Structures are given as C-alpha cells and as structure tokens.
C-alpha cells in the first residue's frame, strides 16, 4: 500500500490595486496598477462604479497588461484570473479617483460693497460656471466657520473677527472643482454719520442745504455705496429720506441730525452730531441788490446836513458877537450925568404918579 503526500493549498489570493494619483487633472488622466503578489500568469479584469450606490461595471476583461490609464472619476477595483477554467482572485479594495471639473468656482459677497461694517448681514456665495444643473456639495475655507456649510451660500451677521479670506470648491460624486481664488472680507467698526450745513441761518423765504455722509474708516472719502439717509428735527423724523448724495433743503428752525441706513434688513450707522438751524429776517433780493446806492445817498445826505449845521452855527456865533460889540460901544460913549438924570426923571415921574394933586 502506497501513501502519497498531499501538499496543503494556499488561501485564495487578493489582488492589489494602486493609483498613481487620486485626482485626475482637468483634461488629464491617472494610471492604475493591478497585481497579484507571489505568482505569475495572471490576466486582469477592471471594474468601475460612478457612484457609491451603483453596481460595478466591467470596463475591461482578460487584460494581459496590469496597468491602465483612466480619465473618468469613479470607484475602481480589479481582480486577477488565470487557467482554464479561469481561476479568479479576490477583488481588490476600492480606490477612489476623482475628476477635476474644468471650471474654477468663484466666491462672491452680497452686497458687494467695498466696505462692510460690524453688524451688517452678508451673503457669501460659491458659483461654478457650467455646473449649474449638477447637485454639488460645497466645501469652504473661511476665516471663522466652526461648522462650514455644504450649500453654495450662507449668511452671516459679521463682526470684526469675520475679517479674512474665503474660498470654496464643489464636489459631486467623483467630480471635484478646483479651489476658488480667495476673496477677502474686511469688517470695520460701526460708522458714525457726519452732518454738514452750508449755512446755519435761514433767510425769510429761503432755505439751507444739509449734507449727510458716511465716511470709510480707511479713507476720508465717502465709502461704499448703498446708503440712504434718515433725517430728524428736534428728535422727530423728517419725511425726507435722501438718496446717495445725502442732501436735503430745510427752511424750518430746529436741531437737526441724520444717520445712514442700507441693506435688508436695514443696517443703521451711529447718529451724526446735531446742527442748530436758525431763521433770520433779511432784506429782500431787490432791496439788497440796491443797498450800495442807498448807502451812497445816505452818506451824501449826512455829510450835507453836517455842513449846513456847521454853517448855521458859524452864522449864529457871528451874529451874537456883533450884537455884544454894539452894546459895549453904546455904554462906553454915555456920560455918567445922563445916567443920574435918567434916574431922577424916573423918580420924579413915579412921585407924580403917586401924588397927582400936588
């Protein structure tokens, strides 16, 4: 009786799949390699799935070459086979290869103002040209996102800490877009409106112009557009909401202030300083235009009156001096006896008047 030794059989081998790269560049390809360790004579079958839930489809069968190039994204695996009937290895592990979408996404900010202030609401949006109909999942690189969203846009009420760079990319099945260029968001402190008046005195029947503005923190010029201006007189809202030039005309006395507002919901600046407007009485346009003539006439009349008064005063003084001189001369030529005689005559006349019978 003969006994034949029986060698034990090795366990069924597993194919190994490796990829040159897991990302296919736009318009390019990557190389996949399938191998069975420790033995030869194998031919290879290649499989691809275009989604995780789909069934694997045979791409190539009974390939003698263990290396292939692929230009589509997907989930790939392989297996080896040899002999007749064919003996197959275990399938390799899956290798994910993603394809780069040819269009680069763009990050936009809405509103697209150049200056954003703390407390304003901003929408950050990722847009992929040519991929509008696809179901993309989005990835974000943001300055401050604890839980980055997967949608193509999100709204934030910004603070200074939200300042920084934002970029995105889209992903769907085995497609990835490139990362977008970085857009920088700069958030400044809440601004204060500035009020200026071309005049603080309102003439009767006239008006003055008030100008409200919001200045950028980075420059002295009026900053990003979109502002409307809200006006108050003596703490009461004025009906006028002026457009971006920020000007209104007022003819009423009062204490005026303003503030800017923009966006939806409306974001308001700090109130401006107060400006007090007074009403004053002034001459009409016709009187004011002829005032130089009246001034000249008044001056001429005044000078003439002064000259006349001086002449009268001079004549008067001359007349008084002449009378006084004549009186002195008459007194100096009269003798003293005639004075006494006059006195005696007066006394005699008075005596006779008192005693008419004598």
What are the tens digits of pLDDT across the range 262-288? 988 899 999 999 999 998 765 554 454
Tell me if 89 is assigned to some domain. Answer: yes
Q: How far apart are CA 66 and CA 78, in angstroms?
A: 10
CA angle, corner 32, sides to 31 and 34, nearest 5?
A: 150
CA proximity to 176, closest of 19, 21, 16 = 21
35 contacts 15 by C-beta, under 8 angstroms: yes
Tokens read off for 44 = 């290879």
Q: Specify whether 154 is located in the same domain as 123.
A: yes
Instruction: Count the alpha carbons within 13 Å of 250 in the hemisphere toward its beta carbon.
Output: 29
Tell me if 328 is assigned to some domain. Answer: no
CB atoms within 10 A of CB 311: 10
128 contacts 150 by C-beta, under 8 angstroms: no
Q: Specify whether 74 is located in the same domain as 94.
A: yes
Tell me if 197 is assigned to some domain. Answer: yes
Q: Specify whether 197 is located in the same domain as 266.
A: yes
Tell me if 204 is assigned to some domain. Answer: yes
Predicted confidence at residue 339, as pLDDT, reads 44
Structural domain containing residue 200: 193-280
Q: How far apart are CA 247 and CA 347, in angstroms?
A: 101
pLDDT tens figures, 222-264: 455 789 999 999 989 987 676 667 889 999 999 999 999 998 8
Q: Is the dihedral of CA 145, 151, 156, 158 positive or negative?
A: positive
Instruction: Report the pLDDT averaged over residues 299-311.
Output: 89
Tell me if 3 is assigned to some domain. Answer: no
Tell which of 83, 99, 115 closes a domain: 99
Tell which of 99, 116, 143 closes a domain: 99
CATH number at residue 159: 2.60.40.10
Predicted confidence at residue 231, as pLDDT, reads 94
Q: Specify whether 114 is located in the same domain as 36.
A: no
Q: Phi and psi of 353, rounded to 5°?
A: -65, -35
Tell which of 79, 99, 119 closes a domain: 99
Element holding 215 (H helix, E strand): none
Tell me if 143 is assigned to some domain. Answer: yes
Is the pLDDT at 354 greater than 80? The verdict is: no
Q: Specify whether 74 is located in the same domain as 111.
A: no
Number of domains forming the structure of the chain: 3
Partners of 75 in the β-ladder: 49, 96
193 contacts 212 by C-beta, under 8 angstroms: yes
Predicted confidence at residue 328, as pLDDT, reads 54
Q: Specify whether 110 is located in the same domain as 179.
A: yes
Tell me if 212 is assigned to some domain. Answer: yes
Tell me if 1 is assigned to some domain. Answer: no
- Going by C-beta distance under 8 Å and a sequence separation of 6 or more, which residues neighbour residue 220? none
Q: Specify whether 199 is located in the same domain as 274.
A: yes
């Amino acid at each position: 009786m003969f006994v034949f030794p029986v060698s034990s059989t090795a366990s069924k081998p597993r194919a190994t799949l490796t990829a040159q790269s897991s990302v296919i560049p736009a318009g390019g390809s990557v190389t996949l390699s399938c191998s069975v360790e420790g033995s030869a004579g194998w031919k290879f079958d290649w499989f691809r799935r275009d989604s995780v839930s789909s069934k694997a489809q045979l791409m190539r069968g009974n390939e003698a070459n263990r290396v292939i190039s692929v230009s589509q994204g997907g989930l790939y695996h392989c297996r080896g086979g040899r002999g007749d009937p064919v003996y197959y290895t275990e399938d390799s592990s899956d290798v994910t290869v993603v394809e780069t979408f040819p269009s680069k996404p763009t990050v936009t900010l809405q509103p697209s103002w150049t200056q954003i202030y703390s407390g304003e609401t901003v929408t950050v949006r990722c847009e992929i040209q040519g991929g509008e109909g696809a179901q993309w999942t989005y990835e974000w690189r943001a300055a401050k996102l604890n839980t980055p969203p997967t949608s193509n846009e999100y709204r934030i009420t910004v603070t200074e800490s939200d300042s920084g760079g934002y970029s995105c990319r889209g992903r769907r099945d085995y497609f990835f877009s490139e990362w977008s260029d970085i857009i920088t968001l700069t958030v400044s402190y809440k601004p204060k409106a500035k009020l200026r008046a071309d005049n603080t005195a309102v003439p009767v029947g006239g008006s003055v112009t008030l100008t409200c503005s919001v200045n950028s923190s980075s420059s002295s010029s009026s900053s990003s557009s979109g502002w409307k201006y809200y006006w108050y007189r003596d703490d009461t809202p004025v009906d006028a909401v002026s457009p971006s030039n920020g000007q209104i005309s007022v003819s009423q006395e009062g204490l005026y202030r303003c503030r800017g507002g923009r966006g939806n919901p409306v974001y308001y600046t700090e109130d401006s300083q107060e400006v007090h407007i007074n009403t004053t009485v002034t001459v009409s346009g016709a009187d004011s235009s002829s005032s130089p003539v009246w001034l000249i006439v008044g001056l001429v009349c005044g000078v003439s009156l002064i000259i006349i008064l001086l002449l009268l005063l001079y004549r008067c003084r001359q007349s008084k001096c002449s009378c006084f001189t004549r009186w002195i001369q008459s007194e100096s030529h009269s003798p003293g006896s005639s004075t006494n005689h006059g006195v005696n005559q007066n006394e005699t006349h008075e005596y006779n008047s008192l005693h008419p019978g004598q």
